[in-house]
Structures are given as C-alpha cells and as structure tokens.
Amino acid sequence: MSASSGKKQEYVFRGIAVAPGVAHGKVCLLARAEPDVPSYPVDEDQVDAEIGRFESAIMSTRQQITNLRTEVSSKLSESEAQIFDAHLLVLEDKALIEETVSEIRSSLYNVELCFNRVAQRYIEFFSNIEDNYIKERANDIRDVTRRLLKNLAGEDHHDLEGLTEAGIVVAPDISPSEAALFDKDKVLAVVSEHGGATGHAVIMARSMGIPAIVNLWKATSRIPAGSEVLVDGYEGTLVLNPTSDTLFRYGEIQVRKDSIRRVFLSELEKPSETLDGQGVTLFANIESADDMKRIRESGARGIGLFRSEGLYLKSNDFPSEEEQYEEYVKVVKGMAGMPVIIRTLDLGGDKVLPKAMIGLEENNPFMGFRAIRFCLKHKEIFKVQLRALLRASAQGDLKIIYPMISGLAELLEANLLLEEAKEELRQKEQAFDEHVEVGTMIEVPSAVQVAADLAHHSDFFSIGTNDLTQYMLAVDRVNDEVAHLYNPAHPAVVRSMKIVIDAANVAKIPVGICGEIAGESIYTPLLLGLGLRELSVTPVTLPEIRYIVRRMDVGDMERLAKQVLECSDPDRIQNILQDFLTEKIEPHIKEALAKLKAGE
Ligand code: PEP
Ligand code: MG
C-alpha cells in the first residue's frame, strides 16, 4: 500500500488485470446473498453518525420484518408468521443494541463491524447451549443480523439493476448473466474478488470495452461503497482515494494509450496482410446482436464466434425459434454479406440458466453438463436453435459451429439433428441454405487427439484456447486459487494447436482460432507462425492485431513458432514471445507516436 498527502489517505490495491482501460468514479458494491461486513475506522466526530445509521437500519429492518409477517400470515398461517415475532424481539434486545453502540464508541470502528462482532458473540453463546429452544435463538439472531447488515449496506450497495448513475462495480464475483445486463454507460469498470482472466463475465466486459480487474483480495470489505477509486485495467491496480498527483499521472498514461490507439486505428482501411503479402482474416467475437455498427467499425471482416447463449442469459429463459431467428438475422444483415459463425448453445460451466439446470448440482460444472452435452440431451431445445440458425442462413453467409465436441460420436449426432431440422424446414417449405457450413470447436484435449477424424466430418475448425487451456492443464478457468497455473503459453497447449492445424491442413479444411489469445498481441506472431490465417478477436483489440500482422514476416514467425514448439518451459515461451513482439513492433510505435506529436 502507498500513502500520500491529501484529505483522505490514498491506498493502492492489486489484482489481476483482465480487461484494459482506466476508469475513475465512485464505488458501487454489488449486493450478494451473504452481506459483506466492511471494516474501517471512524473518527470520533463520526461516531454519532454511525449510531444514527445503526438506528435507521434497525427501523427499516423492523418494517421489513413486520411486512413479511403480515404477508406470511395472510398467505400461509398465523403460526408460520410467528417466527417473525422472534425476529422482532431480537431487534428490541436492549443488550444487543447497547453493546453495539458502546463497541462503536470504544473501538472507533464502523457500525457493520461492531454490530456483527456483538451479534456473532450472541450467536456463539446461544449455539453452545444444550437446549433446542435456546439454540433456535441463535438462528433468529443470525437471520436478523444478515438482514440488518444488508440494510446497512443498502444506502450504498446496489445490485446492478439499481445502478442509477455511472459507477465502478466492486463485487465478490460477477456472473455472466449479470455481465449480460451491464449497461456500458453505467458500469465504468468492474472489480471482483474472484474469477479468472477467461471467465465469461470477464470476456463480456472486455468486449464491451469495460476495464476489469479480478482476484482483488477481499475487495468488497476493504473498499467502502461510495468511495472514489481509480481502476487501472492495464496493470490490475485499484487506487482508493486517488490524489490529484495520481489522477494526473493516470491522465498522462491514458493520453499515451489513446495516442497508440489512434496509431492502430489509422490503418483500419489498409489490407490485413503480412509484410510478404500473406492475407490474414480478422474476425470479431461477439456476445449479442447489439451494436453491429461498432463491430464493423473495428475493422472486422466477419464474425468468427457469436456466443449465442447471451440471448438465453439475458432473458433468463429459452428464447423461441422466432426470437432467435430475429437475433441471428440482425447479425447476418449487420455484417452485410460477410461471414458470420454462430456457435450453438454453450450453457453450463459458469453460464447457468437456472431453468435449464433444474435439480442439477454439479461439483465440477466445467467438466459436466455443458454445451453440446446439454444440447444432445435436450434435443428439442437444440432443434429450436438449429431451425432458427438454418432459416437465418437464407439471409447471408451464416455458418454454424458446435462447442465442446469431445469425440466423433457427438459430432455425428449433432449433424444428424441438424439434418432432421433441415427436413422439418423442407416440410414447412421454409428457406435455408442447403449448403450451410458446419464447423467444430476444438477446445477439449480429446478433440485434439482425434482432430483428423473430426476434420472428415467438419467444414472448418475453430480452436477455442480458453477451454483448451483449462482442460489441457486441468485448471478451472474461473478459480482464482489456480489462476496462476492458467497459461495458454504452456507447451502442451501450443503443441496441441499445431496438431489441430496440421490435421485441418491434411483434410484441406479452414482452421481459425477464437480463444482470447487471438486478440492478445503477444501471441499474434506465434499463431501466424503456426500457420493460422484466421483470427477471431475481441473487437476492441482488432485494430492492434491488424497493425501487428502488417509488420510481420512469415519466415520470421515460422522460425519463432519452431523455437517455441521446441521449448518446454512456459515462462521461457512467454519471454520469447514478448521479446519478439517488442523487437518487431516497439520501434514502429515509437516512430508513429513521434510523428503524431510532431503533427504529421
Ligand atoms: C474458448 O473456449 O476458447 C472459446 C472461444 O469459447 P468460450 O470462451 O465461450 O468457452
Ligand atoms: Mg469454449
């Protein structure tokens, strides 16, 4: 932590940078089922205000419980409602209230901490008494404590829907369904205590251009709601109460980043080809049909991955064939004749739709009932989507891709269902592209091993390195305990990509990549050196990738790939890649920035 002069002390917290950008604003703590207990000192002259907060939280808690009691009494029975009488008694417990007040006065800490301390003492005391009736009292106190803490937070805590003004969301974790509801104008940045760099919520934030940090230890208890913070999504730091010096310094960083971006954007209309004239197709990854104009403006020459489950998560239900058809047509038309690859439903893992997972408690959801596995079990849900996709294929260059294929049998079964869906449309005389291309995502290690077989039954491949990395290295992509082990530069991942590319080349089918590393500049030379000519990337990074492609020589990149394929140390691979990029690109950027400064 660092400190500097100023009214409030400045603190610097570190997490992992997962989505670039800098944001400055007020903290909005995302409320959770379990309330957080913030802990911060208060000045002597703030003690009365803390006690005031306590009193008004007691009042609103009492009101809530009374309302609940009335509701339960009318909908259930008076005896069910009496449980709340016990809760109301807790709120009238003089000892609990007075002890909390004196704890605030003596410790000079905030009310949440003091109240929770006192309440936990009572809970422990009652829990240890060998009398079931008295033990029950511990539960009453626990329940009321939770409710009161939530109300204390209520002044400043919001859930996303309650986010009325722009702010920086700080949360224990963010789910993809929450991220799907992000309003880019309101959510200036996202900071979470948990999660990995390729969790789907992070991917969504990145694609919306929202800076994000994950793995910021105890963020929700250390960063007070409503406080002023600066979030640096490049370095993974959060500055609480930034001083004017810090804001100035970050202002300069932002100016430099903006200038570099202008350099990248200046080449949007130039061909995406290497120095020796080899074309590289740059596609975009998208999560919804909104904002197609922005996607086209990024310079994307098509959509390499449309994660269709966004539609399901947003509505929290299974959209009808018509709703899906409209969404897909919007994308196809939005891309005005360019190719659009739409992935069939990839629910499961960190993307849960409660309705879809009824009665299912999975210990390892990423290894469980996910993606094509779900679709092959729920054939009707799958076929609704297939029909919508097929019908949309009549409107432009639409291709279909299946996620998480782990072997030939799944691919063949999915293709069979696709044939059935086609037949159903023929019966109804509904138009679709009879020759719609169907691809396979290669993102499971077993699929790598049988890539040659899969290639015979696929029109194209797309390598999903986000999952390939997690499954190949057995590192859950959203588990912060093992985030340090998640490394797409691991030789096992790099060599797998080579196997897949070779298999596709032998079968003469196109192969692309749509994992997040396709949009990370450090990997661009390696991916091209391995032979890939189609990269599907997060739209915000697309201009940068194009700039890099245009400054690379295929021979150099093939030598780089050969060196990397022979290397067995992931850290060394990272260094090799970083050095290569710096050597080839840094001088160009320096020169371009100098020209920009000189006003050329
Ligand atoms: C991948 O796994 O690399 C991929 C692109 O799919 P997702 O991130 O949606 O799992
Ligand atoms: Mg995947």
pLDDT (tens digit per residue) in 535-560? 999 999 999 999 999 999 999 999 99
Please state the atom number of ligand 1 nearest to the C-alpha of residue 465. Answer: 3
**CB hemisphere CA count around 546 (13 angstroms):** 25
How far, in Å, is the centroid of ligand 1 from the Cα of 150?
36
- Please check whether residue 462 is in contact with residue 533, taking contact to mean a CB–CB distance below 8 angstroms: no
- Minimum mean pLDDT among 13-22, 145-154, 397-406, 412-421: which range? 145-154
Q: Give distance in angstroms: CA of 464 to centre of ligand 1.
A: 5
- Residue 72, pLDDT score: 63
Question: What's the token pair of residue 132?
Answer: 């079931």
Q: Do 175 and 70 share a structural domain? A: no
Bridging pattern class, strands 212-214 and 228-232: unpaired
Is the CB of residue 371 less than 8 Å from the CB of residue 378?
Answer: no
The predicted pLDDT at position 299 comes to 94
Per-residue model confidence (pLDDT) at position 48: 94
**148 and 67 belong to one structural domain:** yes
Supply the pLDDT for residue 4: 40
Gap from CA of 198 to ligand 2 centroid (Å):
10
Same domain as 53, residue 141: yes
241 forms beta bridges with none
Give yes or no for residue 309 CB within 6 A of ligand 1: no
Q: What's residue 222's pLDDT? A: 79
**From ligand 1's centre to the CA of 505, what distance in Å?**
22
- Mean per-residue pLDDT for 82-108? 90
Residue 192, token pair as written in the block: 């979470």
State mean pLDDT over 59-70: 83
Q: How many folded domains does the chain comprise?
A: 3
The number of the ligand 1 atom at minimal distance from the alpha carbon of 285 is 5
> Which pLDDT score, from 0 to 100, does residue 360 have?
66
Q: Tell me the pTM.
A: 0.75
Burial 207-239, CB ≥16 within 10 A → b, else e? bbebbbbbbbeebbbbbbbebebbbbbeebbbb
In a domain, 407, yes or no: yes
Cα(79)–Cα(56) distance, integer angstroms: 29
Between the ranges 4-8, 18-22, 410-414, where is the mean pLDDT highest? 410-414
135 part of a folded domain: yes
Contact 109, 39 (CB under 8 A): yes
**200 occurs within a structural domain:** yes
Task: Look at residue 517 and tell me if it is in a domain.
Answer: yes
Which pLDDT value is given to residue 77? 62
The average pLDDT across 392-400 equals 98
Contact 372, 402 (CB under 8 A): yes
Q: Is the pLDDT of residue 214 over 50?
A: yes
Confirm or reject: Cβ of 465 under 6 Å from ligand 1.
yes
Protein residue whose Cα sits closest to atom 10 of ligand 1: 467
> Residue 392 belongs to a domain with what CATH number?
3.20.20.60
User: Which ligand neighbours the alpha carbon of 463 most closely?
Assistant: 1
* C-alpha 122 to ligand 2 mean position (Å): 48
Low-confidence winner among 61-70, 184-193, 469-478, 561-570 (lowest mean pLDDT): 61-70
If one residue of 18, 198, 401 were mutated to test the ligand 1 pocket, choosing by the most ligand atoms within 8 A of its CB, it would be: 198
365 lines ligand 1 (CB under 6 A): no
pLDDT, mean of residues 529-534: 98
Q: Which of 153, 188, 216 is the last residue of a domain?
A: 153
307 lines ligand 1 (CB under 6 A): yes
User: Which pLDDT score, from 0 to 100, does residue 289 have?
Assistant: 92
Burial-class residue 154 by CB neighbours within 10 Å (0-12, 13-18, 19+). middle
Residue 130's φ and ψ, nearest 5 degrees, are: -80, 55
308 lines ligand 1 (CB under 6 A): no
> How high is the pLDDT of residue 352?
80
Identify the pLDDT of residue 194.
85
Taking only the tens place, the pLDDT of each residue in 131-182 is 767 777 887 888 789 889 888 876 433 456 556 789 999 998 887 767 777 7
CA dihedral 74, 75, 79, 84 (to 10 degrees): -80
Quickly state the pLDDT bin for 21 (edges 50, 70, 90). very high
200 as an active site residue: the answer is yes
Are residues 334 and 221 both part of a single domain? Answer: no
Containing 382, the helix (H) or strand (E) segment is helix 379-393
Residue 64: pLDDT above 90? no
The answer to whether residues 388 and 498 belong to one domain is yes
Of 461, 467, 478, the one to substitute when testing ligand 1's pocket (max ligand atoms within 8 A of C-beta) is: 467
Tell me, yes or no, whether 342 and 392 share the same domain. Answer: yes
Pair (207, 142) in one structural domain = no
Quick one: 323 and 237 in the same domain?
no
pLDDT in tens, 218-259: 888 778 888 999 999 999 999 999 999 999 999 999 899 999
CA of 442 to the centre of ligand 2 (A): 9
Give the nearest ligand 1 atom to 346 CA.
9
- Residue 252 included in any domain: no
Instruction: Report whether residue 393 contacts ligand 1, using a CB cutoff of 6 Å.
Output: no
192 lines ligand 1 (CB under 6 A): no
Ligand 1 neighbourhood includes 99 CB (under 6 angstroms) = no
Top pLDDT among 38 and 229 is at: 229
Q: What is the pLDDT of residue 359?
A: 55
High-pLDDT (> 70) share of the chain, %: 93
Q: Are residues 194 and 312 in the same domain?
A: no
- Nearest CA residue ID for atom 1, ligand 1: 464
**Distance between CA 252 and CA 2 in Å, rounded?**
20
Q: Are residues 184 and 313 in the same domain?
A: no
Strands lying side by side in the sheet with 187-192: 11-14, 237-240, 228-232, 22-29, 167-171, 187-192, 212-214, 16-19
**273 in any annotated domain:** no
Pairing of strands 22-29, 228-232: antiparallel
Domain with 458 in it: 281-557
163 in the same domain as 148: no
**Same domain, residue pair 232 and 113:** no
Is residue 2's pLDDT more than 60? no
In a domain, 512, yes or no: yes
Q: Is the CB of 464 under 6 A from ligand 1?
A: yes
318 close to 381: Cβ distance less than 8 angstroms: yes
Tell me the pLDDT band of 577, cut-offs 50, 70 and 90. very high
Which band of pLDDT confidence, cut at 50, 70 and 90, is reported for residue 485?
very high
Q: Which ligand is nearest to the CA of 513?
A: 1
| pLDDT (average), residues 122-128 | 87
Give the DSSP per-residue string, 113-173.
HHHHHHHHHHHHHHHTSS-HHHHHHHHHHHHHHHHHHHHHHHTT-B-GGG--S-EEEEES-
**CATH number, domain at 209?**
3.50.30.10
The predicted model gives 106-120 an average pLDDT of 95
Q: State if residue 514 touches ligand 1 by the CB under 6 angstroms criterion.
A: yes
What residues contact residue 443 under an 8 Å CB cut-off, 6+ apart?
403, 404, 463, 464, 465, 466, 467, 468, 471, 515
Q: What is the mean pLDDT of the chain?
A: 90
Q: With bands split at pLDDT 50, 70 and 90, how would you rate the model's confidence at 41?
A: very high
The residue contributing the CA closest to ligand 1 atom 8 is 466
